[in-house]
Chain A
Amino acid sequence: MMNKSRREFLSLCLKGGVSAAALTSLQLQALSGSVEQRSFSDYKALVCVYLYGGNDSMNMLVPLSGEQRSWYEASRQNLAVQEAISLSTASEFEGGVGLHPAMAPLQSYFDQQNLAFVGGVGTLIAPTSLAAYQAKSVPLPQHLFSHNDQQATWMHGQEKQTLNTGWGARLLERLEQGNVFGSNITIDGANPWQTGTNTSAFALSKSGVSKINALSGYEPRVEHVRRVMQTLFSQASHPLASAYASRLSGSIEHTLYMNTLLEQAPTLTTEFGESSLSAQLAAVAKTISIQSQLAAQRQIFFVSMGGFDTHDNQESTHPALLGALANSLGEFQNALTELGVAEQVSTFTMSDFGRTLTSNGDGTDHGWAGNQLVLGGAVKGGDLHGAMMAQRLDGPDDVGGGRLIPAYSNEQYFAPLARWFGLAESELTDLFPNLSNFDAQALSLFKA
């Protein structure tokens, strides 16, 4: 079935006398046997859930008792989270680890050891102490506290370069999966994480399928229209027009192909909610369900949630955001279990930065260190990896206003994700250039 549709599709692609310039990576791959492509004995997928705006993740995990709690209440004041859910973490932390009550839907996944948290993570170039920060004796990430710059730093997994690439795309390229169509999929448009030198993500709409009306219906008309389109696309001489043409040409071909496969996707019994993130994760689950037809053994997915820049009304908006996040993640994990790939798919969060411990009255401002979560059957769950940072104003990590210096660099957080995905130990520092300044083994996020 799948081989037939793929053949049909490729033959359709080639009917129109397509010029070499208009050929997409998919077609090139089909035409040429020489494309390097590593083969794996298993299937794995990484799903990035990006929380745009800077999640106040120091309120996602809060201390429950003792001095830690006192510091926390003193710093967070009216924004301090009450009635947090006490998590029984494998590792012990002074003051305990409380989960924001809005995230109750995820408690069972934690208890079943499918969910772990990673504490005290942020962008760093080298280990940084308060004294070194103040003395400017250590290199710091550029434009700390700026949204788009810090988003880029998280997604690039390195500081700004002349040519910027995302660590998700680099990971695929290192594993020789960059040319495999279907290995790199976004449900939320283009993003730096998935954009590499020779790799970019296929963007799927939230509904999963985008029927192309102009290319539906009476076959001779469709073929004629398609041939004229290809002629036009291959004519573009202006560099920007040419970039546009290759985009649109690729979009049309990839979308037709994906639609052919997605129409055959099984219907899941797992129900997804109404939120945007639920819709996106439902589309990811649907795509994963046809991964064997896609023949992509390694896939990365990108979904996102906005609204985390809680400068105001944080008391009402942040719990709603965390609640929606928890619900969607739970639904997604259920769908993966239904598909039988719970252990082959790992979901993790990234966000611009943590937020200030101090309040601006009804919200918080841009901070630095934060907490993240990792979900999946392969995850060493039921624990907090990394640090439960003291939420203490003017403490040893506070550079001012409750902006905390990360205890772990985000590259230390990315390293185990890449390792689990199949990257050799020796290649980790190639992927993450600053990792050599840190202990690459510090965070052990996956079951042995």
Chain B
Amino acid sequence: MNIASEKFKSVLQLLGNHHSRTDKHVENNSNLVYVCGDYSVIKVLNAIASNAIMNTHLTLAAFCLTTLVACGGGSSESNSTASDTTSNTTTDSQTSSQSGGSATEPSSEQGGSEDPQAGDGGEGEAPEPQNTPPEVVVDITQPEVVKGAPLTLSANVADSEDTTFSYLWRQVSGPEVALGDVTGPTLTVTLPDTYQAAADSYQFSVTVTDPQGADTTTMIDVEASNAMSPNQAAMLLHQGTMGPTLEEVNAATGISETQWLDAQMALPATYHLPLLENYPDRDTPYQINRIDAWWKATLNANDQLRQRVAFALSEILVVSDANNALKGEPEGMLAYYDLLLEHAFGNYRALLEAVTLSPVMGTYLSHLGNEKADPERNIRPDENYAREVMQLFTIGLDMLDQDGSIMQGDNGQPIATYSQQEITGFARVFTGWTFAYSARWDRPSRNYSLPMQAFPAYHSELDKTLLNGEVIPAGVGPEDSMQLALDNLFNHTNVGPFISKQLIQRLITSNPTPQYVERVATVFNDNGSGVRGDLSAVIRAIYLDDEARRYGSVLAYQGKIKEPLLKGVQLWRTLNAHSEAGNYFTWNLDDRYGQGPMLSPSVFNFFRPDHQPAELSEQGLFAPELQIANDAAMIGTLNQQYGDLIWRMAERHDTLNPSAIYLYGQSDISLLKTGGLSALLDRYNLLYFAGNMSQASRDAFIELDQYFANKSAADRVGQLLFMVSLSPEFNVQY
């Protein structure tokens, strides 16, 4: 009994993450299966487990491990909590063979026993059998079951009367597996490497028969997860990090996409504000110092997925200190970025509220200090945030279908999501808010980090028209109005497709199929547990979708142009860019990359999600990142990368300037020396192309290197990396 319980624990560990599946088993539990004519004892394994560590998981797991007990001589019987029709069939055939054709048809009309509890009730009433059938627990011997790898199942038998048994293994469900020897106490198979992100579910059974002919059939559910190949790992990490390093790709190789995402989401957030440092000789921080903090986290943090998602959010929920007074508020700007990090895997409703109440956003879109109307002076509330929170942060301008396409009205035209009436209503909502801990409305604290505070006397007491005809009645105060208004926005049907599509575009592909958008929007609308806006579920759905993973048919235009800044970030991460002083002071990011963190020229970001470059108009494709790929910016990036990879390659210098940033190519230089060009290009193919380097590109890199063959290894590496950085195949995130 205790042994059995211990076995359960190992099974539970395997099943623990698959509640939905075990739930299904519970539901199906009423489909009881009967064999032989005379039914008696029902050995339900949850009964075995019940006196041990009984908890919900155990109960659920028990239903997965189903024991069918059949009596050899027809005197005793089995029953089952068999979980589905497949096991039904298995039991039938088994019974049929063993009772010499005398098997009774399974009798599903035996009504009372359809109650899953019937087994417990039946136990007392059944006559005690002479020979008890063996008790069987199946073990999975591998610590992790992965696709494409061997799986060994072991039948552990407990039977007080007998010591020798015969075995018969079968596969009940799942992708077809060649079983080999099915008559031993263990079964070893090699699971196929199926081409999908989702785990494969299998069910196997083993029938153990004692010398008296009493047998027990036990089912085991097995889930085989992916083991990512190096290229698959590199592709996922290009999508899910700020730019992967070789160590990160290697660490992700061999585990599944889900395991990588789970591990990343479990990491504590690396916040940026604690990384803010002043210039050595200054008392206060500047914009350059908050950009330094961004680099420190971006380059060195382990929670890369969170950093990437927050970066994507910073290009949707845009604030910027590029050309306004926020330039003087680096702590506040970092606090804003930190709230994106904090809520990256939280709920969009909470994120929306944090963004709305951020004094940085309040300053940027001017709802901080916004007052109720003063009709005498023709003053009405500021409409800036009211407009942009709808147009850019939640619902957009046009009514959307759940797949993100624009709904057509009766006249064939798009249907506007809001009019001036709603703008006026929301503008009234966003009145009466100023800096936290302000002594008075007109004595603001100027604390740019804490959520704003309401002063009811400055809040509009008029009614407020919201979306879908909802109206906040007159006299509702600032906090309640804010909550009602954000609920109203958050629950609009556009939010799911509007936000999901933009996240897909920032993270995975510029041209998602409507089906992909709808699959993710469906998760946004309901994470499976009735929760709307669960970003952790949305992010999982985005990354695990077959379209993102390139399982199934791959679209020719799948993927996106890498953002110029992120190209630079990957090179800096892989080549361990740093200054000896430890800071990353990067001026004029706009000239170098055409973009920078929280440096957008306006709330409309550096590029729009529906930007269609002329080169792609015939194909009807979007490439948002090409909106900033103008001649001057592309040459700027080219020069930046030339400077990084040639001039600032540390190994090319005898002495280093302590405050200057250098890139370190030592690992590549060593590989070139020991393994040659071919080994180095193999590494680059994995690290920079996720395996997509064409032979033609490879040949071009080889041709490049021929010219530099007599130069130092550091020179050769630098020239190769520079050519990699401008090559079209590197510039696509697949």
Sample 20 A-B pairs with CB under 8 A, ordered by A number: A142-B414, A146-B391, A147-B604, A189-B630, A197-B617, A201-B630, A212-B635, A228-B703, A232-B723, A235-B729, A240-B557, A242-B728, A243-B561, A244-B731, A255-B635, A306-B323, A309-B602, A311-B365, A361-B369, A362-B369
Residue in chain A with minimal CB distance to B594:
A189
> A360 with B561: in contact, given A202-B631, A212-B635, A239-B621 (CB under 8 Å)?
no
Complex Cα spacing A201 to B379, Å = 42
B704 touches A239 (CB 8 A): no
Interface residues of A in 63-89 (CB under 8 A from B): 74-78
* Distance, CA A235 to CA B701, complexed state (A): 12
- A307 beta carbon closer than 8 Å to chain B: yes
A interface with B by C-beta (< 8 Å): 52-53, 74-78, 142-143, 145-149, 163-164, 186, 189-190, 195-198, 200-205, 210-214, 221, 224-225, 227-229, 231-233, 235-248, 250-252, 254-255, 306-307, 309, 311-312, 357-363, 365-366, 393, 400-402
> Hey, which chain B residues are within 8 Å of A197, CB to CB?
614, 617
Say yes or no: A254 contacts B700, CB within 8 Å.
Answer: no
Cβ of B378 and Cβ of A189 under 8 Å apart?
no
Minimum-distance CB pairs A-B, first 5: A203-B630, A236-B728, A360-B382, A205-B632, A241-B728
Q: Does B613 contact A (CB under 8 A)?
A: yes
- Asked if B632 and A203 make an inter-chain contact with CB atoms under 8 angstroms apart, the answer reads yes
What sequence of 0s and 1s flags, for each residue 609-643 of chain B, a beta carbon within 8 Å of any chain A beta carbon? 00011111101010100111111111110110011
Assess whether B728 is in contact with A232, with CB atoms less than 8 Å apart. Answer: yes
Residues of A within 8 A of B642 (CB): 213-214
Please give the distance in Å from A280's CB to the nearest CB on chain B: 11
Question: Contact partner of B728 among A143, A149, A224, A235, CB < 8 A?
Answer: A235
Bound state CA distance, A414 and B697, in angstroms? Answer: 48
Chain A proximity mask over B71-100: 1 for CB below 8 Å, otherwise 0: 000000000000000000000000000000
* Residue among A228, A248, A251, A363 with max Cβ neighbours from chain B (10 Å): A228
Q: Is the CB of B387 within 8 A of A244?
A: no
Q: Which residues of B contact A (CB under 8 A)?
A: 323-324, 365-366, 369-371, 374, 377-384, 387, 391, 397, 414, 416, 420, 423, 510, 556-557, 559-561, 591, 594, 601-602, 604, 608, 612-617, 619, 621, 623, 626-636, 638-639, 642-643, 646, 694, 696-697, 699-701, 703-704, 707, 719, 722-723, 726-729, 731-732
- Please indicate the chain A residues that have their CB under 8 angstroms from the CB of B391 in the complex: 146
| Complex Cα–Cα for A228 and B683 (A) | 20
B371 neighbours in A (Cβ, 8 Å): 361
Among candidates B387, B635, B719, B728, residue contacting A238 with C-beta atoms closer than 8 Å? B728
State the CA gap A2–B380 with chains docked (Å).
60
Distance between B689 CB and nearest chain A CB, rounded to angstroms: 11
Tell which of A224, A225, A244 has the most Cβ of chain B within 10 Å: A244
Partner among B559, B633, B638, B696 whose Cβ is within 8 Å of the Cβ of A235: B696
Report how many A-B pairs have Cβ atoms within 8 Å. Answer: 217
User: Which residues from A are CB-within-8-Å of B727?
Assistant: 232
A310 and B610 alpha carbons, distance in the complex (Å): 26
- Give the residues in chain B near A205, CB-CB below 8 Å: 591, 632, 635-636
Given contacts A241-B732, A242-B615, A358-B378, contact A231 B635 (CB under 8 A): no
The complex places the Cα of A254 from the Cα of B723 at a distance, in Å, of 20
Query: Which residue of chain A lies nearest to B371 when distances are taken between CB atoms in the complex?
Result: A361
Contacts of A149 in B (CB 8 A): 397
Q: A77-B378, A228-B723, A312-B382 are in contact. Are A148 and B604 (CB under 8 A)?
A: yes
Nearest Cβ on chain B to A258's Cβ, whole angstroms: 9
Nearest A residue to B324, CB-CB: A307
Whether A212 contacts B639 by the Cβ 8 Å rule is yes
Residues of chain A within 8 A (CB-CB) of B697 are 232, 235
Judging by beta carbons under 8 Å apart, are B632 and A146 in contact? no
Q: Are B696 and A231 touching (Cβ within 8 A)? A: yes
* B561/A240 in contact, CB under 8 A: yes
What residues of chain B lie closer than 8 Å to A231, measured between beta carbons? Answer: 696, 699-700, 703
- The answer to whether B382 and A311 touch across the interface, beta carbons within 8 angstroms, is yes
A77 in contact with B397 given A232-B728, A235-B728 (CB within 8 Å): no
Contacts of B696 in A (CB 8 A): 231, 235
How far is B409's CA from A121's CA once the two chains are assembled, in angstroms? 30
Q: How far is the CB of B59 from chain A (nearest CB, A)?
A: 51
Q: Which residues of B contact A358 (CB under 8 A)?
A: 378-380
B561 touches A244 (CB 8 A): yes
Rounded to whole angstroms, the CA-CA distance of A233 and B726 in the bound complex is: 9
* Minimum CB distance partner of B363 in chain A: A312
**Contact yes or no, A200 B728, CB < 8 A:** no
Cross-chain contact A238 with B384 (CB below 8 angstroms)? no
Complex contact A360–B379 (CB within 8 A): yes
CA distance A196 to B356 in the complex (A): 38
With both beta carbons as reference points, the residue of chain B lying nearest to A360 in the complex is identified as B382
Contact A247 B707 (CB under 8 A): no
Chain A proximity of B383: nearest CB distance (Å)? 4
* Residues of A close to B381: CB separation below 8 A: 360
Q: A240-B559, A244-B626, A361-B370 are in contact. Are A254 and B397 (CB under 8 A)?
A: no
A238 touches B378 (CB 8 A): no
Q: If the complex has contacts A189-B628, A203-B632, A365-B382, are A240 and B623 also in contact, measured as CB distance less than 8 A?
A: yes
Do the beta carbons of A200 and B614 come within 8 Å of each other?
A: yes
Residues of B within 8 A of A201 (CB): 630
A325 vs chain B, min Cβ distance (A): 15
Interface centre among B382, B632, B696, B723 (most CB of A within 10 A): B632
Measured in the bound complex, the distance between the Cα atoms of B697 and A163 in whole Å is: 34
CA distance A78 to B377 in the complex (A): 8
Q: Which residue of B lies closest to A246 (CB)?
A: B615
What is the CA–CA distance of A213 and B365 in the complex, to the nearest angstrom?
Answer: 40
Q: Say whether A244 contacts B728, CB under 8 Å.
A: yes
Q: Is the Cβ of A248 less than 8 Å from the Cβ of B634? A: yes
Would A244 and B732 count as touching, CB distance under 8 A?
A: yes
Instruction: Point out the residue from A52, A77, A211, A244 that lies within 8 Å of B629, measured CB to CB.
Output: A244
Contact A229–B383 (Cβ < 8 Å): no
Q: Is the CB–CB distance between A186 and B630 below 8 Å?
A: yes
Cα A78 to Cα B378 in complex, Å, equals 10
Cβ 8 A contact of A233, one of B324, B646, B728: B728
Residues of chain A contacted by B638 (CB below 8 angstroms): 212-214, 248, 252
A25 to B: closest C-beta gap in Å: 11
Q: Which of B397, B414, B635, B732 contacts A146 (CB 8 A)?
A: B397
Known: A240-B623, A360-B366. 9 other contacts (CB 8 A): A232-B697, A244-B731, A248-B634, A252-B635, A254-B631, A255-B631, A360-B370, A360-B382, A361-B382
Q: A52-B602, A213-B643 are contacts. A247–B323 as well, Cβ < 8 Å?
A: no
Q: Are B630 and A361 in contact (CB under 8 A)?
A: no
Shortest CB–CB separation between residue B657 and chain A, in angstroms?
Answer: 19
Would you call A235 and B379 a contact (CB within 8 A)?
Answer: no
Report how far A312 CA is from B626 CA in the complex, Å: 32
A165 to chain B, nearest CB (A): 9
Q: State whether A245 and B728 are in contact (beta carbons under 8 Å apart), knowing that A146-B391, A205-B632 are contacts in the complex.
A: yes
Asked if A247 and B634 make an inter-chain contact with CB atoms under 8 angstroms apart, the answer reads: yes
Contact among B379, B601, B635, B707 with A224 in the assembled complex (CB-CB below 8 Å): B707
**Which residues on the A side are within 8 Å of B704 (C-beta)?**
224-225, 228
Kindly state the separation between the CA atoms of A243 and B633 in the bound complex, as whole angstroms: 15
| Pair B631/A251 contact, Cβ less than 8 Å | yes
**C-alpha gap A195/B602 in the complex (Å):** 21
CA distance A203 to B626 in the complex (A): 13
Q: What residue in chain A is nearest B376 (Cβ atoms)? A: A77
A214 to B641, CA, bound (A): 9
Complex-state Cα separation, A210 to B634, whole angstroms? 10
A401 vs B420: C-alpha distance when bound (angstroms):
10
Residues in A with CB closer than 8 Å to B623 are 240, 243
Contacts of B556 in A (CB 8 A): 238-239
- Measured between alpha carbons, how far is A215 from B642 in the docked complex, in Å? 10
Residue of A77, A225, A248 near B377 (CB, 8 A) is: A77
* A363 and B383 alpha carbons, distance in the complex (Å): 10
Q: Which residues of A contact B629 (CB under 8 A)?
A: 190, 244, 247-248
Partner of B616 from the list A239, A366, A401 (CB cut-off 8 Å) is A239
Distance A148 CA – B384 CA, assembled complex (angstroms): 14
